[in-house]
Amino acid sequence: MNISGEHLVDAVKYLAAGIAMGLGAIGPAIGEGIAAAHALDGMARQPEMEPALLRTMIIGQAITESTGIYSLIVAIILLFVV
Amino acid sequence: MLERLGQKLILKVGQLGPVPVAFDLVTVIMCLIVSAILVLLALWFRRAIPADPEAPLNRRAAFLVGALDFFREQLLGGFPRELAQRLFPLITTLFLYVLLSNWISVIPGAQSPTQNEQVTLGFAFMVYFLSHYYAIRTKGARSHFRGYLEPYPFLLPMNVIGDFGRTLSHGFRLFGNIFGGAILTAIFLNLVARIITAVPVAIPFGLVFGVGLGTFLNAWFGVFIGAVQALVFALLASVYIRLTTA
């Protein structure tokens, strides 16, 4: 079995996409968990605030998710474009 | 396995200077289908509105009233009254369109228009330009563009780039979530198919498992994540417009 440069590029491409997605998923996961935990704290303390808290939590989580989405974009570009 | 996801039916129209002009036919057709469904639904609901305002509401009209109240409460709650009144049709349409675009991928063989980054970025840039339009309408062009010099004039590039990055991430968030869901569904189903073909005894069991898994993944990524992302997209659009007009 002889390995040419193209095979090497393919292998590194898939490896890089996996690493980018895996590492990039850590941050948003922790961040969204913290946001949900604090929103739950607030809801338990003041149940009448639940709709407002839920909406703000979802917006905050969506913005937190951005970094994860960026790494997904990088992984997609590595897989399909490079 | 993933080739099918990137599959596009491209119609090349011509050349606009150095930029090639082309249409992705699948996305265009799916967009038109979603629009057609929304228009038909709107006409169907409109027929339910009684001509006499004093008449008791029938079922469809009551649903319509409830849904509109819900949208006003959820998407534009806490907004100044006049701004909420002006934004309500835009934000609700955006929400319904994105929601139906996400949900339509539950039909086997149908592709979400929001799986294409050009559609979502188009919506995001529409929101970007509309936020400037509303800001100029409410504050006047002078005070709106002076806002870019706050807090210090040398931060102007930062403000412009920040605005732009916000819009890009607004569009890519929806695309990434929907496209990522499509990738995960494809990977899981492919995994099941490989296991089935490797172990011939497991074929009947694997078929049932595959169909069940496919249904579950479609329900999760299509219906649940689709609804959440549509809500987030419309909410962020309204928040961005409110931030620029404030």
What is the tens place of the pLDDT at every residue in B204-230?
777 777 778 878 888 888 888 888 889
pLDDT band for position B2 (50/70/90)? low
Whether A73 sits inside 8 A of B176 (CB atoms) is yes
pLDDT in tens, B161-200: 888 888 998 999 999 888 888 888 888 888 877 877 777 7
**Side-chain-facing half-sphere of B89: CA atoms under 13 Å:** 2
Using the predicted structure, report yes or no on whether residue A74 has a pLDDT greater than 60.
yes
* Residue A15: predicted pLDDT: 93
Asked if B95 and B231 count as a contact pair (C-beta separation under 8 A), the reply is: yes
* Residue A29: predicted pLDDT: 93
pLDDT band for position B3 (50/70/90)? low
**Which residues from chain B sit within 8 angstroms of residue A59, using beta carbons?**
232, 235-236, 239
- Residue A17 CA, distance from chain mean position: 13
**Side-chain-facing half-sphere of B18: CA atoms under 13 Å:** 0
pTM: 0.84
Instruction: Give the pLDDT mean for B80-109.
Output: 88
Whether B173 sits inside 8 A of A52 (CB atoms) is no
**Which residues from chain A sit within 8 angstroms of residue B231, using beta carbons?**
58
Pick the residue of A10, A76, A78, A82 with the most B CBs within 10 A to test the interface with B by mutation: A76
pLDDT band for position B7 (50/70/90)? low
Whether B228 sits inside 8 A of A58 (CB atoms) is yes
* Residue B56: predicted pLDDT: 77
Mean per-residue pLDDT of chain B: 84
pLDDT in tens, A14-44: 999 999 999 999 999 999 999 999 999 999 9
User: Is some CB atom of chain A closer than 8 A to the CB atom of B236?
Assistant: yes
**Side-chain-facing half-sphere of B196: CA atoms under 13 Å:** 15
The alpha carbon of residue B50 is apart from the nearest alpha carbon of chain A, in Å, by 32
CA distances to B84, B87, B129, B164 from B241, rounded to whole Å, are: 11, 9, 10, 14
Instruction: Give the pLDDT mean for B9-28.
Output: 78
Whether B172 sits inside 8 A of A76 (CB atoms) is no
How many cross-chain Cβ pairs, A to B, lie less than 8 Å apart?
Answer: 42
For tokens 């962020």, what's the residue? B236
Using the predicted structure, report yes or no on whether residue B11 has a pLDDT greater than 90.
no
Asked if B51 and B139 count as a contact pair (C-beta separation under 8 A), the reply is: no
Which percentage of chain A shows pLDDT scores above 90?
A: 45
* Residue B8: predicted pLDDT: 64
pLDDT in tens, A49-62: 888 888 888 888 88
Distance CA A25, CA B232 (A): 19
The alpha carbon of residue A62 is apart from the nearest alpha carbon of chain B, in Å, by 7
Which sign does the torsion angle of CA B160, B91, A69, B1 carry?
Answer: negative
Of residues B151 and B70, the one with the higher pLDDT is B70
pLDDT band for position B239 (50/70/90)? confident
Which percentage of chain A shows pLDDT scores above 70?
A: 100
Distance CA A74, CA B33 (A): 31
Whether A69 sits inside 8 A of B177 (CB atoms) is yes
Instruction: Give the pLDDT mean for B47-73.
Output: 82
Bridge partner residues of B10 (DSSP): B24
| B90-93 CB contacts, 8 Å cutoff, 24+ apart | B90/B130, B91/B234, B91/B237, B91/B238, B92/B68, B92/B234
Residue in chain A closest to B7 (alpha carbons) equals A80
User: Is some CB atom of chain A closer than 8 A to the CB atom of B166?
Assistant: no
Whether A66 sits inside 8 A of B232 (CB atoms) is no
Distance CA A51, CA B242 (A): 20
Task: List the structure tokens of A57.
Answer: 């939590």
| B222-228 CB contacts, 8 Å cutoff, 24+ apart | B222/B102, B222/B103, B222/B105, B222/B106, B222/B181, B223/B103, B223/B106, B225/B102, B225/B177, B225/B178, B225/B181, B226/B99, B226/B102, B226/B103, B226/B105, B226/B112, B226/B178, B227/B99, B227/B102, B227/B103, B228/A58
**Which residues from chain A sit within 8 angstroms of residue B121, using beta carbons?**
none
